[in-house]
Structures are given as structure tokens and as C-alpha cells.
């Protein structure tokens, strides 16, 4: 190391005026406290996730399977009425290409009415008159527009359920869809 290394290191001494051993120790304790809380929070979130996974195993697998094995649709246990019902879940893909493929699939199977399409245009304060123009004219005027095309989650679930129930075509894998039964517990 050369002798002139320390000549380029400078510090503003006023930044150290309030620094005391006691203050430094208190700050260290606060930082350690935050670290402990963050570690506990991560652990608690993992515990909650584990409990949710166990709950889902009971609701979607264990109880419906046992009730099917016993050929019962409804039972009362400890003042809780337990029944099984069909369930459907599905989501639109997040990946833009997969999403476009999913939208194309919906159009191809005659479900394009479930697709929502929103166009948003932002105008400045002095552009009120331009805002009233037709959307087709916006591109000619050079305004930036954004389009949002989507299917509402509950609408998608309904569509999947109806198509499955009626043995109509729908790509379940494309929509990460799950069809099965779920235990429904109603406290007495």
C-alpha cells in the first residue's frame, strides 16, 4: 500500500459529534432487535404457510376422499356439518405470450364474451378537447395509449366449471385449472 492512500480518505468530523459508546450500543441493540423480529416474521410466515398447506390437504384431499370412500355427502362431527361440493380454480397466465395464447384459446372455443378489453389514454390539463375525440383518431395524433385485456378471476372459474360440467372443450393446463371436490364445514 502506498503512503498517499490515506491522503485521499477524508471524513467530515461533524458526522461523529453525537457518537458515544452508549449511543452506539443502543443503536446496535435496536438493529439486532429488528433483525430478530425479521427472522421471527419469516419463521411465522413459513409456519402459516405450512398450516395452510395442511388445511388444504384436509379440505381438498383427505376429507373428500374418505367421504367418497364411505359414500356419504354430508356428516355432522362435533356440531360441525361437513359436506363435499365441487370446486374449480384457474388463473390467467402471467407470461404475456402464454396469456395471449390463453385469450386466443378462449376466442377459439367461443368464450370471447368473457374477455374484457380496456383502453386507457392520459391527457394533459389543456387537452380536454382532444380527449373527446374518437379512439381511432388518437393514434393519428400521436397520443400514447395502453390497452388492458383480461378475464375476471371469478368469471374464469365459472367458465371453466360450466365447460367441464357440460363436457365442452377448455385447456385446463393453460389456465392452471383444478377441478375436484372440497370439504365444506359449517359450524352448528
- The predicted structure's pLDDT at residue 118: 78
pTM of the model: 0.53
Domain ranges of the chain: 21-72, 87-187
pLDDT digits (tens), the chain, 188 positions: 555 655 565 666 666 677 778 888 888 898 899 999 999 999 999 999 999 999 999 988 999 999 999 999 899 988 889 999 888 889 999 999 999 999 999 999 999 888 888 777 666 667 666 666 655 677 777 776 666 778 889 999 999 999 999 999 999 999 999 888 887 878 86
Three-state SS annotation for the chain: CCHHHCCCCCCCHHHHCCCCHHHHHHHHHHHHHHHHHHHHHHHHHHHHHHHHHHHHHHHHHHHHHHHHHHCCCEEEECCEEEEEEEEEECCCCCCHHHHHHHHHHHHHCCCHHHCEEEEEECCCCCCHHHHCCCHHHHHHHCCCEEEEEECCHHHHHHHHHHHHHCCCCCCCCCCCCEEEEEEEEEEC
Amino acid at each position: 500500500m502506498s503512503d498517499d492512500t490515506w491522503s485521499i480518505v477524508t471524513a467530515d468530523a461533524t458526522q461523529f459529534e453525537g457518537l458515544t459508546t452508549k449511543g452506539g450500543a443502543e443503536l446496535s441493540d435496536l438493529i439486532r432487535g429488528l433483525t430478530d423480529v425479521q427472522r421471527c416474521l419469516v419463521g411465522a410466515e413459513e409456519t402459516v404457510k405450512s398450516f395452510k398447506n395442511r388445511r388444504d390437504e384436509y379440505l381438498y384431499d383427505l376429507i373428500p376422499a374418505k367421504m367418497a370412500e364411505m359414500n356419504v355427502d354430508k356428516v355432522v362431527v362435533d356440531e360441525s356439518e361437513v359436506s363435499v361440493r365441487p370446486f374449480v380454480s384457474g388463473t390467467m397466465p402471467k407470461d404475456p405470450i402464454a396469456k395471449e395464447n390463453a385469450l386466443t384459446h378462449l376466442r377459439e372455443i367461443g368464450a370471447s364474451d368473457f374477455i374484457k378489453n380496456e383502453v386507457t389514454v392520459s391527457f394533459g390539463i389543456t387537452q380536454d378537447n382532444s380527449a373527446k375525440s374518437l379512439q381511432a383518431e388518437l393514434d393519428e395524433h400521436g397520443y400514447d395509449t395502453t390497452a388492458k385485456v383480461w378475464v375476471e378471476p371469478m368469471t374464469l372459474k365459472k367458465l371453466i366449471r360450466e365447460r367441464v360440467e357440460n363436457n365442452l372443450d377448455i385447456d385446463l393446463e393453460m389456465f392452471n385449472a383444478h377441478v375436484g371436490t372440497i370439504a365444506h364445514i359449517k359450524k352448528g
